[in-house]
Amino acid sequence: MSLLEVKKLTKNFGGLSAISNVHLELKENELVGLIGPNGAGKTTLFNLLTGVYQPTEGSIEIETNGQRESVIGKKTYTITDMGFGRTFQNIRLFKNLTVLDNVLIAMHSKSKVGTLKSVLRLPSYYASESKMKKEAIELLKIFSLENKVDELAKNLPYGEQRRLEIVRALATKPKVLFLDEPAAGMNPQETADLTALIRQIQKDFKITILLIEHDMSLVMNVCERIYVLEYGRMIAHGTPEEIKGNKQVIKAYLGGE
């Protein structure tokens, strides 16, 4: 059974079809790429999968306890609770909060402590807060950010802000992690470090990753399968080697005739 299954997904804005009849399938612990020219609809597809937009037609279902459950019509925070985590093309951190607080906010979405216990500051509240803080710092260590816990997010260098956004997404304990152009704006060394980091994330966290990225060396190096969008339609799907040799993809995106 697939972890995530998308069928006939379509999104129209007025008379314009941004996504048209898209099929996509993700299995457990896969690292899958989504590529295509600017304006192909990649971020729109992510927005549909994570509840930012609602589709005009089609289905999006995630496997939960052996059953298929639709995410369509649900709030974004509910979809997060169902196991979808994401980063954004443009970094969306809480810039005026500390690095640690950015992660703790994400962790609170999974907290089992109720409102009454939080208001009354019962012992279970303090125990939960202490546990979350410890887990947050351990998570930041993996991304070499443990020494920045008290810094404001806005004061981090660009590459570290990118890493923090990934940490925050992982703090929600997702089944599927959507990475929207994580290498955007990075220099070659930062991109190389990110490539190794994405591999490590999949290995250590045993989650499924869907990656939007324009850096083809990164995509070809880390992805097991690749989907290709053009003008909102899926024009190809296959292994990196198959995509490299696909004439339609070469003409539409990779360069060449």
Listed by start position, the domains of the chain span 4-83+174-254
Q: Which residues pair with 19 in a beta bridge?
A: 11
Q: What is the pLDDT of residue 255?
A: 61
Sheet containing strand 57-64, edge to edge, reads: 16-26, 4-13, 57-64, 67-70
* For residue 167, pLDDT beyond 80: yes
- What does pLDDT average to over the chain? 88
Q: What is the pLDDT of residue 125?
A: 58
Tens-place pLDDT, residues 37-83: 988 999 999 999 999 999 999 999 999 878 899 999 999 989 998 99
- E strands along 192-244, which residues? 208-212, 225-230, 233-238
The CATH number for 4-83+174-254, chosen from 3.40.50.11740, 3.40.1160.10, 3.40.50.300, 3.20.20.60, is 3.40.50.300
Rounded distance between C-alpha atoms, residue 226 and residue 220, angstroms: 9
Q: What is the pLDDT of residue 215?
A: 87
State mean pLDDT over 8-20: 94
Tens-place pLDDT, residues 189-239: 888 888 888 988 888 889 999 999 988 889 999 999 999 999 999 999 999
Per DSSP bridges, beta strands 57-64 and 4-13 are: antiparallel
* For residue 28, pLDDT beyond 60: yes
Rounded distance between C-alpha atoms, residue 214 and residue 235, angstroms: 17
Tens-place pLDDT, residues 80-139: 989 999 998 888 899 999 999 999 998 876 555 454 454 445 566 556 677 889 999 999
Q: What is the amino acid identity at position 181?
A: E
